[in-house]
Structure 1
Amino acid sequence: MAYPKKLWQGSEFLAATFAGYGVTHVFYIESVLRQTLIELERRNIRRIMTHSEKAAAYMADGYARASRRAGVCMAQSVGAANLASGMQEAYLAKSPVIAITGKKPSMYRYRHAYQEVDHWPLFEPVSKFNTSIEHASELPQAIRQLFREAVTGTPGPVHIDMPNHQAGIIERGDIASDLIIEKSFSRIPPFRPIPDPAAVKAAVDLIYKAERPLLVAGGGAVMSDAGAEITKLAERLNIPLATSVDGKGIMLENHPLSLGIMGGYGRACTNAIAAEADLVVFIGCSACDQTTKNWTLPSQETPVIQIDINPAELGRNYPNAVSVLGDAKAAAAAMAATLQAPHPNAAWTRKAAQALAEWRKSLIPARADSGSPIKVERLCQIIQDELPEDGILVSDTGFAAIWTASHIDLTKPRQRYIRAAGGSLGWAYPASLGVKCGAPDQPVVCFTGDGGFWYHVAEIETAVRYGIPTVTVVNNNRGLGMCRKQIHEMYGNAEGNRDEMYQFRAASFAQLAETMGAVGITVIEEKDLAPALGDAIRGGKPAVVEVITDITGDPQLY
């Protein structure tokens, strides 16, 4: 879509472009692009000022993943390094985030300018596309390319550097240009490449020849919104489906063919089935070290079919017996359409279902335990019970990710799961605020530990200031649970003060939340947990529910 050519001021052009691409929120730290921010208000785009640049990047990431639109974050020159550090999560999550930074004009380079280092190398390892401009006349082409790069192929974060430290030179500059909005590049995916029919046939033929085939869906399948098509493919074949952590929820997790998460953060039963598979079909899944337990599940000798929208990913981590280039949704639909009958080895599917049933049975005592301190297994059961049918569960990394990924099932079609894909502890809380901005009509529940919550606890004030009503469950065990396990294993029987390496002083996050104007609830007894969580979800206000739990809980025991 092109609007009539006119003379624009840079700030006006940038704001109009954001509005045209459907951006509804911008996350930033003062002071950058001030005139643009004023223009954004005139276009009803919300300006969310955070307490740190890293939190702004995390919020933009959460927004992007929830909305499937580009998330925008901004910082002035001295904050660029902090913003770049927050972009690691978006990069590893393949999330379409646009980062804008100010920089000193080129005449300041190599002259020991105040607050200035070269930003380009900071963003290069965490950006799919990294650029800079010097003149306002360059903005129209550059900004369109940012959106194009962010959402096409394998999505990813992009960065642009603008002079001066607040990017004011670009804002004040004149632009004689059409306002061109390429609507195709406003969402993920902009296009759905259809796979080669010959590759589809080869893949289906190989599945029928295998005795123990396994489907594995990843984050790319979620971004493609391929859940219905992948479920139909699994049902028509009658073979089991596992997922990566980022693929969680692509199939309802109470579906008889669903095995849940595999890999380092996965279930022992799912990993056992993956080890037995004689063919694995990766759908929109990078087959990374976490999903495959360092490329041992499946073994490198196991035949693999890989379906991906990016040809560079085909065979990256496993040699492909068949490579299918295409969108996950389109490819799964094409494969399902060619099927004539279910896979002949129904016994394999029954074995997988039995393994999962036995795993679930082993959890029953802990998930029903009403003792004190509260077991995290019980906390997970109650979150699963209380999560609304359209709720989005946002999780931190470490034990928080294992608890939520493997011990909380998503059983309703509109429920979603979003986690710290890059493993940055503390990501979840600010990201959950971005998720709520990107999906304002859906309840958002964040799960983090006290170790993760400490990172960005100041953003409670941000949530209150802007009225962003998420519910944050803090698994408060006064320490770093995953680190505790590893530190105790390393100490063995040796003497020493191991506790100081993972333990915190007692603190009340509920009281802190109340001080900032949010709802704060402390839960010590199991009987109070479900009412507290339910009330917080229904309350419609920013809320922190801290649950005092046993630090010895270990999700990897199952």
Structure 2
Amino acid sequence: MSNVTAASWLAKSLAARGIDHVFFIDAILRRSLVEMEHEGIRRVLVHSEKAAAYMADGYARVRGAPGICFSQAVGAANLAAGMQDAYLAQAPVLAFTGRKVSKYRHRNAYQEVDHPAMFRAVTKTSVDVDDAADLPRLLAHAWRTAISGTPGPVHLDVLGHMGEVLEAGTVVAKVAAGLPTSTLPLHRELAEEAEIEAALARLREAPRVAIVAGTGAMQSGAGDEIRRLAEVLQAPVGTSLGARGIIATDHPLSIGTVGSYSAPPTNQIVAGADVVFFIGCRTGDQVTLDWRIPDLATPVVHLDVDPVEIGRSYPDTIGICGDPKRNLARLLELVGNIPARDGVYAEEAAEAMAEWRRGFAERAGDEGGAIRVEAIMSAITEALPETGIIVADTGFSSIWSCTGIELNGGGQTYLRAAGSLGWSFPAALGAQCAAPDRRVVCFTGDGGLYYHLTELETARRYGIPLVLVVNNNSGFGQSIENIRTVQGDTPGTPEELGLFGPLDFSKIAQEFGIEGHRIEKHADLRPALEAALAGNQPVVLDVVTDIGPRAPVHWKPKSESRT
């Protein structure tokens, strides 16, 4: 048993559980941060609370363990805003904020607002930590909550404007007492045999089965089981953005992301299924294209760790409640002999995807005019190392990357924003901190990069060697055509609503002390990317593109959704 300050206990406990980076903006838990240096934890000082949250998010998604971020009391609102993406993407982040002592409450204390209320919508729970003696118990509770069931962020509000009151208290407990030693998932529940058998009966009877895998399947590490089951069922495999690359994207049964961020053939393939098997995948509007892919009348099998998700959107659902990897393994044991599949559905899907890829490759090779975004995607596919990590922003950055970057289904990882524009650059820094032996490529538009451009200084100061690829089209590419459509023939200047710049980000990078290159010719793109990945310092590649070309547009059925 230890008898130490809370600051010392916290630092030793995080180190004992393999946490080697924390992300913060001053002034918070200063004594703990001093103690963390003694334990070999790198303290990453950033330039905004949201950036700290996003870095912790990227770290958590790569490690499968909690990412840690801190903010003093006045920064709590900014830190809470940064939790939205982690919450939507099911990432386990622990967010610490300071809170003034009780005699200041309800007295209009300077810079003080109700913290739990701000975090309630974007965390699994908010925990008050008022006494150092309770820190081991409450930290263990927060940690378990973050990585159990459907993972997600947890907020800890600690006593003291900067957490200084809690830090000074005494802890009498073993280092890391109660903190789980495992990464995601914390538990691997096996469903009732009857659930698995009922689901298997539906899958056996359907001649055309499509699989849609989601974030939960990726967090469970169920890629091999999904591939094996797909081959048995001759079932095309689509994914949400959170499971992109769960099997090799060039596998004959891989059909890419489904829903509103999809290549055109993908939705058609899933719409043609007799049964759709959702695996660790929430059935929200994006992955189902507003519940049209598949149609709400389609029979569904749904495997998920959270029973609330099963049948949430599709009334004709047979559910399997439990861990995706473990339950798929059991399903494969039981699958036995199934009626022979004629293979036509799978063959049609493979040919449709092959045709799409051929067209994409032709566009990528077109060297006339401005650099095409397809060319950027192809260059990343070709240059990304076998264990590389690609981090993409939301909007067009996600659509381009999830349809155009191919992944090996093994060592490579795809992370994307769950909706917060500007997330990708800080998240990529966190991902690189989590995996120093892997190479990280961040793909963002100029509109997204402006949010956290100052973190270039953070990358330089800590020598975080990611490669930042900027699709620089001097505007919000996803927005401008829609803005012009709304403007119509009405007199005015719609460009004011969606265009900005131009700016040379390579020069900005150089001003921050980072290597930067402006790419204006197709032939210079891949050599520059390969050279950047061969180095060990941060590099910015400012790729000049045109704002006109549209990202791939999903296919949708003519009938309206029946929501």
Other-structure match for 1:84: 80
Matched, 1:481 2:477: yes
Other-structure match for 2:414: 417
Aligned-partner SS, 1:482: coil
**Which whole-Å CA distance do the structure 1 matches of 2:271 and 2:56 have between them?**
37
**Which whole-Å CA distance do the structure 2 matches of 1:485 and 1:182 have between them?**
54
Which ranges of structure 1 fall in alignment gaps of 5 or more residues? none
Q: Which amino acid counterpart does residue 352 of structure 1 have in structure 2?
A: A
Aligned pair partner of 1:281 in 274, 277, 280: 277
**Which whole-Å CA distance do the structure 1 matches of 2:286 and 2:414 have between them?**
17
Q: Which amino acid counterpart does residue 353 of structure 1 have in structure 2?
A: A
TM-score w.r.t. length of structure 1: 0.97
1:173-184, aligned counterparts within 5 Å? 173-182=169-178, 184=180
**Deviations 1:285-322 (Å, cap 9, x if unpaired)?**
00111000111111111011000011121112222531
Q: Is the 8 A contact 2:199 2:301 kept in 1?
A: yes
**Which whole-Å CA distance do the structure 2 matches of 1:6 and 1:447 have between them?**
46
Matched, 1:365 2:362: yes
**Deviations 1:387-422 (Å, cap 9, x if unpaired)?**
11111000000000000001111135211100001x
Other-structure match for 1:459: 455
- In structure 2, the CA distance between the partners of 1:19 and 1:330, relative to structure 1 (3 Å rule), is same
State the shift of 1:487 in Å.
0.9
State the shift of 1:133 in Å.
2.1
Q: Which amino acid counterpart does residue 479 of structure 1 have in structure 2?
A: G
Q: Which amino acid counterpart does residue 322 of structure 1 have in structure 2?
A: I
Aligned-partner SS, 1:494: coil
**Deviations 1:404-456 (Å, cap 9, x if unpaired)?**
001111135211100001x1100000000000111111100000000000000
Which ranges of structure 2 fall in alignment gaps of 5 or more residues? 555-563
Q: Is the 8 A contact 2:80 2:119 kept in 1?
A: yes
1:531-542, aligned counterparts within 5 Å? 531-542=527-538
Matched, 1:374 2:371: yes
Aligned-partner SS, 1:301: coil
Aligned-partner SS, 1:83: helix
Matched, 1:111 2:102: no
Of 266-275 and 70-79, deviating more is 266-275
**Deviations 1:260-295 (Å, cap 9, x if unpaired)?**
111001111010111111210000000111000111
**Which whole-Å CA distance do the structure 2 matches of 1:557 and 1:13 have between them?**
52
State the shift of 1:199 in Å.
1.6
**Which whole-Å CA distance do the structure 2 matches of 1:412 and 1:93 have between them?**
20
State the shift of 1:345 in Å.
3.6
TM-score w.r.t. length of structure 2: 0.96
Q: Is the 8 A contact 1:389 1:412 kept in 2?
A: no
Aligned pair partner of 1:57 in 39, 42, 53: 53
Of 340-349 and 161-170, deviating more is 340-349
Aligned-partner SS, 2:175: strand
State the shift of 1:460 in Å.
0.6
Q: Which amino acid counterpart does residue 461 of structure 1 have in structure 2?
A: E
Matched, 1:268 2:264: yes
1:508-547, aligned counterparts within 5 Å? 508-547=504-543
Q: Which amino acid counterpart does residue 164 of structure 2 have in structure 1?
A: G
State the shift of 1:211 in Å.
2.5
Q: Is the 8 A contact 1:184 1:191 kept in 2?
A: no
Aligned pair count? 553
Q: Which amino acid counterpart does residue 358 of structure 1 have in structure 2?
A: E
**Which whole-Å CA distance do the structure 2 matches of 1:180 and 1:397 have between them?**
36
Q: Cα RMSD over matched residues?
A: 1.3
Aligned pair partner of 1:393 in 390, 395, 401: 390
Q: Is the 8 A contact 1:252 1:412 kept in 2?
A: yes
Other-structure match for 1:404: 401
Matched, 1:497 2:510: no
Other-structure match for 1:8: 4
Matched, 1:226 2:222: yes
State the shift of 1:185 in Å.
5.0
**Which whole-Å CA distance do the structure 1 matches of 2:177 and 2:437 have between them?**
26
- In structure 2, the CA distance between the partners of 1:384 and 1:222, relative to structure 1 (3 Å rule), is same
Q: Is the 8 A contact 2:262 2:553 kept in 1?
A: no
Aligned-partner SS, 1:291: helix
Poorly superposed stretches of 4+, deviation over 4 Å: none
Q: Which amino acid counterpart does residue 445 of structure 1 have in structure 2?
A: V
**Deviations 1:454-490 (Å, cap 9, x if unpaired)?**
0001001101111110001000000000011211222
Q: Is the 8 A contact 2:136 2:178 kept in 1?
A: no
